[in-house]
Structure 1
């Protein structure tokens, strides 16, 4: 049994590691001036692929809450994440988005009536201070829209996670993930076409990059992650920490992104606050 759980734990860890590759693949292979369109084209095909496996559409009675979850967890989250990735180094974007466990603890108070303890509040303050060190620095290629989009992505997903807990009995996790990917893509596609339009040029590398995002960084990663949470429980939440670690490693190692001392301290503070937060909840 221990060996089986260890294998499942490793398999689950692959999900967040694949998420961490999203930023470099997007910047290197896809049109960064079409982040919302790429988000829609990432979510929709992945949802359709997973639908072939679950073979069930959401019942009408739960369509409204599923749509709200799809908007927060997929539509807004994907779009804001890639808007931020187009304007900031991938490691910074990933770290901003990874702040969502801290925001979950704060949002759970008004929405679920679960008051955060002083420790959770302290961790949230530590994380926010780290974000401040990362972005309020003259040495960084500071972009206000990129920072706000990264924080907005974290806030959107945090809200979605809290609402998922509120509506946790609607359907099995894999079905919920499938429906959210499908509906989330449908919701933002018209906006993408209206605001961004279609890219003027589309090359083979664009197709390969999008294919990777759809197959590996979305469909496979979400399937592994949701299945792992379903089998192993909330203790695997600490593995989500691997996403910004991979993104930072790829940014520094492949993209030759650099962090000065202040930014590195900020990243370390955010990682510490997130790590302690998920450790306390696991």
Structure 2
């Protein structure tokens, strides 16, 4: 039984890893072929992905999910995309990535507040190692740091962590459908801002269309479904440290595809991040029977919530 549980857990972790790897690959794609229109980039990324998932799920929001989709759309997709683009404009990439590398710790804090999940010491250690490794990889310390950029990065970090925790708490509905609703709400909320700030949508040539197709299908639709599936089946601390694969993928692909040269400092930082990810995946062995009873009590507390959500969806 324990071996079966471990294998299932590893399968969920591997599925979750699709998301940060796909997100990390968007850096190369964006720099290479996508236009420099951040708000429209967020809209073109979110709306088609949401429509694609909606066609698969064929379910519309009901009841509380109308406002929940709007809240999660702001926190997880539309608002997050806009904040990240603004951060990229105000901060050097190394500083921005180092701040955003705190996402595992932010997710653990949000999970503690929203879900009541206690972060394991090894997960916290993995998150701290990830911040140190990303900082070593990317932070050169050159030039002044814009405090507004730091504030926007912290808002993006805290907002997405809260959104992920809320998505898990409200997770008693179809995974693909709820992801579709979030993406559609997020893209729809950013659309008016894109029209006002950036004007008409940018003209897209062949490479840009291919780039957006990849970003939409793989790095958004597939990635967000994988990420939210992981949050439903794996502790938030573990998912957070898996998310450190995002900057790792960006750095590695930059070297392999864009011909960027990795220095010894960057290689050392890469090794520290990978070690942090590995540490964050360490699982505790089952303890005493009382621990099993505590898990069952937690499951009993959650089950009525899920039952209520399913009842609302049927009504």
TM class, shorter-length: 0.7 to 0.9
Match of 1:197 in 2: 199
Q: 1:7 to 1:106 in 2, by over 3 A?
A: closer
Which one of 147, 154, 158 corresponds to residue 157 of structure 2?
A: 154
Q: CA deviation at 1:68?
A: 1.0
Match of 1:277 in 2: 280
Question: Would the aligned equivalents of 1:95 and 1:270 in 2 still touch at CA under 8 Å?
Answer: no
Q: Which structure 1 segments of 5+ residues have no match?
A: none
Which one of 209, 216, 219 corresponds to residue 218 of structure 2?
A: 216
Q: Give the stretch that moved more between structures: 74-83 or 44-53.
A: 74-83
Match of 1:45 in 2: 48
SS in structure 2 of the partner of residue 256 of structure 1: coil
Q: Residues 182-212 of structure 1: CA distance to partner in whole angstroms, max 9, x if unpaired? A: 1111111111222222366542222221122
Which one of 53, 64, 69 corresponds to residue 66 of structure 1?
A: 69
Q: Given the two structures, how large is their TM-score scaled by the length of structure 2?
A: 0.69
CA distance, structure 1, for counterparts of residue 127 and residue 202 of structure 2: 43
Match of 1:167 in 2: 170
* Bigger radius of gyration among the two: 2
Match of 2:304 in 1: none
Question: Would the aligned equivalents of 1:91 and 1:244 in 2 still touch at CA under 8 Å?
Answer: no
Q: Give the stretch that moved more between structures: 270-279 or 171-180.
A: 270-279
Q: Residues 57-110 of structure 1: CA distance to partner in whole angstroms, max 9, x if unpaired? A: 111332222211111111122233344556778788666545322111123344
Which one of 240, 252, 256 corresponds to residue 255 of structure 2?
A: 252
Q: 1:110 to 1:11 in 2, by over 3 A?
A: closer
CA distance, structure 1, for counterparts of residue 64 and residue 202 of structure 2: 41
Match of 1:79 in 2: 82
RMSD (Å), alpha carbons: 4.0
Q: CA deviation at 1:129?
A: 4.8
Which one of 6, 25, 28 corresponds to residue 21 of structure 1?
A: 25
Structure with more relative contact order (C-alpha pairs < 8 Å, separation 6 or more): 1
CA distance, structure 2, for counterparts of residue 190 and residue 97 of structure 1: 27
CA distance, structure 2, for counterparts of residue 185 and residue 276 of structure 1: 36
Which one of 31, 38, 46 corresponds to residue 35 of structure 2?
A: 31
CA distance, structure 2, for counterparts of residue 227 and residue 110 of structure 1: 20
Match of 2:59 in 1: 56
Match of 2:181 in 1: 179
Number of equivalenced pairs? 276
Q: 1:234 to 1:83 in 2, by over 3 A?
A: same
